[in-house]
Chains A and B, each alone.
Chain A
Amino acid sequence: DVKVTQSSRYLVKRTGEKVFLECVQDMDHENMFWYRQDPGLGLRLIYFSYDVKMKEKGDIPEGYSVSREKKERFSLILESASTNQTSMYLCASSLPSGGNDTDTQYFGPGTRLTVL
């Protein structure tokens, strides 16, 4: 079974703090994704990465950055946290094209971040 883990289930930070959210997958997936989930807005893609050191902006990258130094790890960074970044953050991974598992995203349990 694919396992995607996230460093924290719940996190409380103060406005202006630098925040690191870590995601690790154990299935050698090339693609990794960071989403935020807010009530009524569904999942919105922040950033994704299709290879080590590669990253692409998603729909809402402002206020966020990412790092992928190793294949299994994808970090989301909030350079200066703000209250409007209070949300549920979900990490996912997938294989690239080819095979029955193509494009199937596997999710971690999520990190509920509160910025005070």
Chain B
Amino acid sequence: AQSVTQLGSHVSVSEGALVLLRCNYSSSVPPYLFWYVQYPNQGLQLLLKYTSAATLVKGINGFEAEFKKSETSFHLTKPSAHMSDAAEYFCAVSEDSNYQLIWGAGTKLIIKP
């Protein structure tokens, strides 16, 4: 069964700096990989989704993620952080055999002025 690891429960970057949030999955290539964002006291919102059409996936709010099979990774990046990016970010992968998503523990992104 799949598992998902997000490195770092908290990541702090300065406004304008590069954002890099790490996600690794455990085993065979899952059908789909996702990044979701959760702003304070809200539900989760889809940022982007990998569907095997392209290894570099562009999402909303200037975020993108690159699927690297050799590294079993799907890291999320944004070239220049904005204060409004402060939120919690979740990586998830789908399972082959059912409808469930396997979730990482989340990374809280803190933006320093």
Contacts and interface: CB of A to CB of B under 8 A. Distances in A.
Interface stretch (B39-47, B54-62, B64-72, B78-86): B39-47
Interface stretch (A13-21, A42-50, A61-69, A73-81): A42-50
A105 interface: yes
B9 to A, nearest CB: 7
**Chain B binding surface SS class:** loop
A23 B32 CA distance: 25
B51 interface: yes
Interface string A73-104: 00000000000000000101010100010111
Nearest to A58: B100
A110 B41 contact: yes
A110 B43 CA distance: 5
B99 A107 contact: no
A90 B43 contact: yes
B6 to A, nearest CB: 8
Contacts of B94: 102-103
Interface residues of A, number: 27
Contact of A43 (B9, B51, B90): B90
A40 B104 CA distance: 10
Interface in B18-77: 31-32, 34, 36, 41-46, 49, 51
Q: Which of B49, B101, B105 has the most CB of A within 10 A?
A: B101
Contacts of B51: 100
A9 B99 CA distance: 26
Contacts of A112: 41
Interface string A1-25: 0001000010000000000000000
Contacts of B106: 42-43
Q: Which of A48, A102, A103 has the most CB of B within 10 A?
A: A103
